Structures are given as C-alpha cells and as structure tokens.
C-alpha cells in the first residue's frame, strides 16, 4: 500500500473516481474534470488520473473528444456496464505520447 498520499488528495481522488463512474463511458479532459469535480489545479487532476490509470482504475487515452468541452485532448474515463469504451469517441491507446 502506498502511504504517500495525503488526506486531501485522497478525497480528491475519490471525487474524480466517483464522477467518472457516474459518467461512465464519457471521456473528460483534465481541465473539465477539474471544473466538474472542484479538484484544482488541473495539474492535480493530471497527477491523480495518471496514478489511477497506472493502477487500472480508469482509462487514460488520447484520440477522442472531451464530453464537455469537445476538445481533442488526453481523456479520462471509466468503461462500465454494457457501454463499451469503443462506443464512445473511440479513445485509443497510442503508446506513451502523454
């Protein structure tokens, strides 16, 4: 178990994961996740999402459009239930270009 995560960051992580699960299948960029969850700065969202992606909790991929701002950015999402991630904007892994 990692113990280097402080309490605030842990609750921020929970906010992000809960939001993405609630919106499962919909991809969001770091900036919009920051706005939607109140976790700021976006850099913090970035760090949390990278870590959760590393743990396999979320998908982080380049190649689709954000469900909120419509920008083509690196997106975070949780595939869930019957909705296949391939149905949603087709984010795909393309190596480590992020």
Binding site for Zn ion (CB under 5 A): 29, 32, 66, 68-69
Residue 8 or residue 18: which is nearer to Zn ion going by CB? Answer: 18
**Minimum distance of Zn ion from residue 8's CB (angstroms):** 23
**Minimum distance of Zn ion from residue 32's CB (angstroms):** 3
User: What span, in angstroms and rounded, lies between the C-alpha atoms of 95 and 66?
Assistant: 20
Residue 72 or residue 86: which is nearer to Zn ion going by CB? Answer: 72
Residue 5 or residue 18: which is nearer to Zn ion going by CB? Answer: 18
Token duo for residue 73: 């950015």
Token duo for residue 3: 């113990």
Residue 34 or residue 52: which is nearer to Zn ion going by CB? Answer: 34
Question: Which residue has tokens 């605030």?
Answer: 8
Question: Which residue has tokens 């595939």?
Answer: 79
**Minimum distance of Zn ion from residue 50's CB (angstroms):** 17
Are residues 26 and 91 in contact, defined by beta-carbon separation less than 8 angstroms? no
DSSP H helices, 24-88, are 30-37, 42-54
**Minimum distance of Zn ion from residue 94's CB (angstroms):** 19
């Amino acid at each position: 178990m990692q113990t280097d995560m402080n309490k605030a960051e842990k609750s921020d992580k929970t906010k992000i994961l809960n939001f993405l699960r609630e919106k499962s299948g919909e991809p969001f960029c770091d900036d919009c996740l920051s706005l939607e969850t109140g976790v700021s700065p976006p850099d913090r969202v970035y760090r949390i999402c990278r870590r959760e992606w590393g743990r396999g909790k979320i998908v982080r991929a380049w190649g689709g459009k954000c469900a909120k701002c419509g920008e083509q950015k690196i997106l975070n999402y949780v595939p869930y239930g019957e909705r296949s991630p391939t149905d949603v904007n087709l984010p795909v892994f393309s190596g480590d270009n992020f």
